[in-house]
Amino acid sequence: MISAMVRGAVLCAALLLVSACGGGADPATSPPQAAGTPSGTAASDAASPAGDVKTSENVRLVTNVPRAAPLNGENDWNTDLAFQGDYAFVGNFGGFSIYDISDPTAPKTVSQVSCPAQQNDVSVHGDLLILSIDEPRSDEKCSSTAGRRAWEGLRIFDISDKKSPKFVSAVRTDCGSHTHTMVPKGDTLYVYVSSPGPEPDSATCPPPHQVIQVVEIPVRDPESAKLVARPDIFPDRQKDTGGCHDVTAYPEKNLAAAACFGDGVLLDITDPVKPKVLQQIRDEENFQIWHSATFNNDATKVVFGDELGGGMMPTCNSQTPATKGANAIYDIVDGKLERRGYFKISREQEQSENCVAHNGSLIPVKGKDIMVQAWYQGGVSVWDFTDSSAPKEIGYFERGPFEREGIAGSWSAYYYNGYIYSSDIQKGLDVIAIDDPLTDPAEQVEMADFNVQTQRAY
């Protein structure tokens, strides 16, 4: 379990040193600019030379959009994804990009906003875009620097004009925002802020630190956004630990599942400002960092992911057990979580390849529980957990080892309107297609938007 005393080492996936990817000169602030095969799958290539693509027979790479200036510096890593209509929004340590994906085979850059900070996870709601800032900056503006440690939290942008997003406001939160989760209620958008901490002697992350903070954003007046609650949902927790990595809300079910580093938590969010713990679970034998959570469509299951090693380590190898750095599938029985099984990709990765369970989403197939998921340099996996105790892989996409030493691979992989979109840390935006009888029915489901941590029934 990660110690909150090492928040300075928490980056991207909770354990990266700040100096590893936040160092060097800050990008200049600028206005937006236009600019081994597992059972059940078959490889289309016998080998995977460095940088080459390898897929199962039912998966193909449709296209790749490389990172481009001003968001293609050495430390400008691609992060999370969100979608709205014909647009994809890609977070990046240097800011964020907006792509026109009306033709998924040929995405076009609409705008890029230079607004540097770790980690710039992104979500969209109506005309608003929200970024998570998990790095002390000199102030809330995009022109801030990392030298003076005075502010971190949420940045809010107006994206009514996709070609020219505008900074609207910001909300300071204790220990910043590693990730965030939207819970819409009428004209009010509540945002759960997840961040590790506390950090003694820190100006932005002093103790005590609650695991969740709630920000209220009036949709019609986002300039007045403010922090409204710090619910203490773990009053008996260890005092040297705090924070969640991800919270996934399912507002239609009044439920949320929180991955709080050492704990998995099921929450009642009937009152979004006052979430209540329904159950708190641990798996100390297998899970190191409870990283993320995904409900199935019926909210009768939760998949929790373990980010063993914080995304830096090569855990997809024969030296690491199949239950570590993996997914755990829990059924919800009489309102309680009961563990049924584990899933981890079985293709062994090289020692130079960081690989572990990371961000993914459901593929909307009626009567089936199917996910697509990023595994860093382990690539993208599509897997079926309809039988919670016997999950199986359906298909995959991956590249060979990154040509330089360092962190690489798919940060997030989500399904949206017929295609899989993968945000590759180094390579940019990948568009991937899967052609399989199990997943083909998903092509009939049309989504108006998609934010992975705010689930909707399909």
Under the banding of pLDDT at 50, 70 and 90, the label for residue 51 is low
Nearest to 8 by CA among 109, 149, 115, 144: 149
Tens of pLDDT, residue by residue over 219-229, are 999 999 999 99
pLDDT, one tens digit per residue, over 292-301 is 999 999 999 9
Three-state secondary structure call for residue 52: coil
Q: What integer pLDDT is reported at residue 178 of this predicted model?
A: 96
Mean pLDDT confidence for 7-16: 38
Q: Is the pLDDT of residue 21 over 80?
A: no
DSSP state, residue 18: H
Mean pLDDT lowest among 102-116, 144-158, 321-335: 144-158
Residue with tokens 């297609």: 433
Contact 442, 416 (CB under 8 A): no
Domain ranges of the chain: 4-35+44-450
Residue pLDDT, tens place only, 86-115: 999 999 999 999 999 999 999 999 999 999
Q: How confident is the model at residue 235 (pLDDT cuts 50, 70, 90)?
A: low
Mean residue pLDDT across the chain: 89
Q: Using a CB cutoff of 8 Å and minimum separation of 24, what contacts does 273-280 make?
A: 273/190, 273/214, 273/216, 273/228, 273/229, 273/231, 274/229, 274/231, 275/192, 275/212, 275/231, 275/233, 276/233, 277/233, 277/234, 278/335, 278/336, 279/335, 279/336, 279/337, 280/234
Before 349, cis peptide (omega within 30)?
no
Spatial distance between the Cα atoms of 88 and 175, rounded to a whole number of angstroms? 28
Type of residue at 402:
F
Q: Mean per-residue pLDDT for 333-350?
A: 97
Top-tier CATH class for 4-35+44-450: mainly beta
User: How many beta carbons lie within 10 A of that of residue 353, not counting itself?
Assistant: 24
- Rounded Cα–Cα distance for residues 267 and 390 (Å): 26
Q: How far is CA 93 from CA 133, 207, 410, in A?
A: 9, 27, 15
HSE (CB half, 13 Å, CA atoms) of 284?
A: 1
Confidence of residue 208 (pLDDT cuts 50, 70, 90): confident
pLDDT value of position 232: 85
For residue 276, report the phi and psi dihedrals to the nearest 5 degrees: -120, 140
Q: Do 136 and 144 touch, CB atoms closer than 8 A? A: no
- The residue written with tokens 């700040």 in the block is 18
Q: Which residues pair with 314 in a beta bridge?
A: 355
Contact predicate 343/369, CB 8 Å: no
Structure pTM?
0.90
